[in-house]
């Protein structure tokens, strides 16, 4: 796939919860396989909802999403159609820890590859160990989630998603629940992935991280895209008043 | 106090008590096999999205939870043979009554721990491409069973104690043998003290295990 053909194309996406709370109100976003999109915006603005829709976890009201040129999600007469095969090529890491508590680290990593793809256990274990070694977690292979720090849990969650060779990774405020001293180790792992050209959509409130990882920054508020551009522009000299206000307030930066 | 305890005459005639304990343990184990398996099925049915399934199962569970066990046992003993023209032997009937009662209570324990599985974990299951059936099998079931173990054990040992009720329908369990022995020796106080101690000796270690499991779970959950 070329770097400029759209990997994800979102058109006219509307999403409400129970028809009452209108969260996304006609969102249009296009991203290429070379993009690392950082989404910023006020709390309650629908960032998590957007990522959950992209992951195929939510019903939508209107609009459509294509992936690599193929239909992925669409809404027809009130019903949301989600292509499960496309969904399997997307990975997501959540804000809250989602490791399965009854499985050790290796068990968490090989569950989906062995059950979903029918990969041999020995092969999956070998790939899992390689990933854990890369993330500095080899000695934790047989630890249970309850025995890990928050930073370690999130790194394992990232490794678990990578076991399925995703073509797109979604990160929803994956460091927000962490103690400050644990944030860097998780961000380093994501930066590592970025260097390997993994397409990703990241929701974060970390200015340093956003600047360093983004090829594009999107400011979302009120369920629509307010501003969309390179990080220097959106974070450094925003065109929109609302973006400027938000950045000053959240990142304490005066322009 | 003028009463003089005389345990000796009871100790001399203890043999039937051991036979009774054996029957009581058989009742308990058989009732627990029913309670653990049927209870899980009931829990799944009671969470069904179809009312036609949910309603009768809820009624069944609530009937057993909201009536005294002793009435359930008597009812089983006298009404089931009359209504359905079957009589399966007193031990079997006792097992059925105790087993169904336990299943109803265990169903509640299973249901609560199934619903306590965090939604985020199921989302992660979807994100990892697991099918709905695989999510039940690999995420919900192991967590739910593990979380309900203390309650299941408590319920199970409760059935051990409640099984004493079947003595009133002439099942020759520990309680029944105790009553016989009390009449035989004219020493009801001593006899029932010993019977109580036997029940205690079995129940107490299990309740200690439950306490240990709950403390361990609190540590693991933190
Ligand atoms: N499951 C849900 N049911 C109902 N309302 C929800 C649900 N999830 C989120 N919302 C609402 O949708 C809005 C957007 O939430 P969210 O996508 O989490 O925003 P953000 O991640 O930007 O903080 C909020 O007003 C929130 O209360
Ligand atoms: Mg959010």
More confident residue, B2 or B71: B71
**Nearest ligand 1 atom, CA A47:** 22
* Predicted confidence (pLDDT) per residue in B125-158, tens digit: 999 999 999 998 999 888 888 889 899 999 999 9
| Structure tokens given for B15 | 């043999």
pLDDT at res. A3: 54
The upper half-sphere exposure of residue A79, i.e. CA atoms within 13 Å in the direction of its Cβ, equals 2
pLDDT at res. B88: 81
Tracing tokens 């205690």 back to the chain, one arrives at B200
Interface of A with B in 94-133 (CB under 8 A): 94, 96-98, 100-102, 111-112, 115-116
In a domain, B15, yes or no: yes
Give the total number of structural domains in chain B. Answer: 1
- Element (DSSP H or E) covering residue A184: helix A180-195
Ligand 1 close to Cβ of residue A48 (< 6 A): yes
**How many Cβ contacts (< 8 angstroms) between chains A and B?**
61
Give percent above pLDDT 90 in chain A.
86
pLDDT at res. A155: 96
Interface of B with A (CB under 8 A): 118, 120-121, 123-124, 126-130, 134, 138-139, 142-143, 146, 220-222
Task: Tell me the CATH number at B162.
Answer: 1.10.3720.10
Q: Taking the domains of chain A in order of start, what are their residue ranges?
A: 1-89+168-255, 101-166
Check pLDDT > 80 for residue A139. Answer: yes
Of the pLDDT bands very low, low, confident and very high (cuts 50, 70, 90), residue B83 is confident
pLDDT at res. B1: 65
Q: Which runs of E-coded beta strand occur in A96-188? A: 168-172
* Predicted confidence (pLDDT) per residue in A61-73, tens digit: 999 999 999 999 9
Across B3-7, B18-22, B120-124, least confident range = B3-7
Provide the CATH number for the domain formed by A1-89+168-255 in this structure. Answer: 3.40.50.300
Distance A202 CA to ligand 1 centre (A): 17
Length of chain B: 222
Q: What is the mean pLDDT of chain B?
A: 89
Distance A221 CA to ligand 1 centre (A): 12
Instruction: Flag if B130 and A112 touch (Cβ within 8 Å).
Output: yes
Helix B141-162 × helix B188-221 angle, to 10°: 170
In a domain, B73, yes or no: yes
Q: What is the mean pLDDT of chain A?
A: 93
In a domain, B3, yes or no: no
User: Does this complex have an ipTM over 0.85?
Assistant: yes
Ligand 1 close to Cβ of residue A163 (< 6 A): no
Across A3-7, B34-38, B156-160, least confident range = A3-7
Q: How far is B129 from chain A (nearest CA, A)?
A: 5
Nearest residue in chain A measured CA to CA from B138: A111
* Predicted confidence (pLDDT) per residue in A206-216, tens digit: 988 999 999 99
Q: Which residues pair with A200 in a beta bridge?
A: A36, A169
**Nearest ligand 1 atom, CA A49:** 17
Residue range(s) defining the domain that contains residue B190: 8-221
Distance A44 CA to ligand 2 centre (A): 7
Which DSSP string do the residues of B177-214 spell out, in sequence order?
Answer: HHHHHHHHHT-HHHHHHHHHHHHHHHHHHHHHHHHHHH
For ligand 1, atom 18, name the residue with the nearest CA: A48
């Amino acid at each position: 796939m070329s770097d400029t053909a759209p990997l994800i194309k979102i058109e006219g996406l509307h999403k409400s919860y129970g028809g009452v709370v209108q969260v996304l109100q006609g969102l249009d976003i296009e991203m290429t396989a070379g993009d690392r999109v950082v989404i910023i915006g006020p709390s309650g603005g629908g960032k998590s909802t957007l990522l959950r829709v992209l992951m195929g976890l939510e019903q939508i009201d209107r609009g459509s999403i294509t992936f690599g040129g193929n239909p992925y999600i669409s809404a027809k007469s009130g019903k949301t159609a989600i292509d499960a095969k496309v969904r399997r090529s997307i990975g997501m890491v959540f804000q809250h820890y989602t490791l399965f508590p009854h499985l050790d680290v290796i068990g968490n990593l090989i569950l989906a590859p062995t059950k979903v793809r029918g990969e041999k256990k020995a092969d999956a274990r070998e790939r899992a160990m390689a990933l854990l070694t890369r993330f500095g977690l080899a000695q934790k292979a047989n630890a249970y989630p309850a025995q890990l720090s928050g930073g370690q849990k999130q790194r394992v969650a990232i490794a678990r998603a990578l076991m399925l060779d995703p073509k797109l990774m979604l990160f929803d405020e994956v460091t927000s629940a962490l103690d400050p001293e644990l944030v860097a180790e998780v961000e380093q792992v994501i930066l590592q992935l970025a260097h390997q050209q993994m397409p990703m959509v990241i929701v974060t409130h970390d200015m340093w991280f956003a600047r360093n990882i983004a090829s594009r920054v999107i400011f979302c508020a009120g369920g629509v895209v307010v501003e969309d551009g390179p990080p220097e522009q959106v974070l450094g000299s925003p065109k929109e008043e609302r973006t400027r206000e938000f950045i000053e307030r959240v990142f304490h930066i005066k322009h | 106090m003028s009463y003089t305890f005389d345990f000796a005459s009871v100790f001399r005639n203890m043999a039937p008590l051991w036979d009774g304990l054996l029957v009581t343990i058989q009742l308990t184990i058989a009732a627990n096999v029913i309670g653990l398996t049927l209870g899980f099925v009931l829990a799944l049915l009671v969470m069904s999205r179809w009312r036609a399934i949910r309603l009768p199962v809820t009624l069944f569970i609530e009937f057993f939870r909201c009536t005294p066990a002793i009435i359930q046992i008597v009812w089983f003993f006298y009404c089931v043979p009359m209504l359905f023209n079957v009589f399966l032997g007193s031990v079997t009937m006792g097992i059925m009554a105790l087993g169904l009662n336990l299943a109803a209570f265990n169903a509640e324990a299973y249901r609560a721990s199934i619903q306590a599985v965090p939604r985020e974990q199921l989302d992660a299951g979807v994100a990892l491409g697991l099918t709905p059936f695989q999510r039940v099998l690999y995420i919900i079931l192991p967590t739910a069973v593990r979380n309900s173990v203390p309650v299941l054990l408590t319920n199970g040992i409760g059935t051990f104690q409640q099984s004493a009720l079947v003595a009133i329908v002439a099942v020759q369990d520990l309680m029944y043998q105790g009553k016989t022995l009390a009449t035989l020796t004219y020493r009801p106080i001593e006899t029932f003290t010993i019977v109580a101690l036997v029940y205690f000796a079995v129940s107490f270690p299990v309740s200690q295990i439950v306490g240990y499991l709950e403390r361990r779970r609190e540590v693991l959950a933190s």
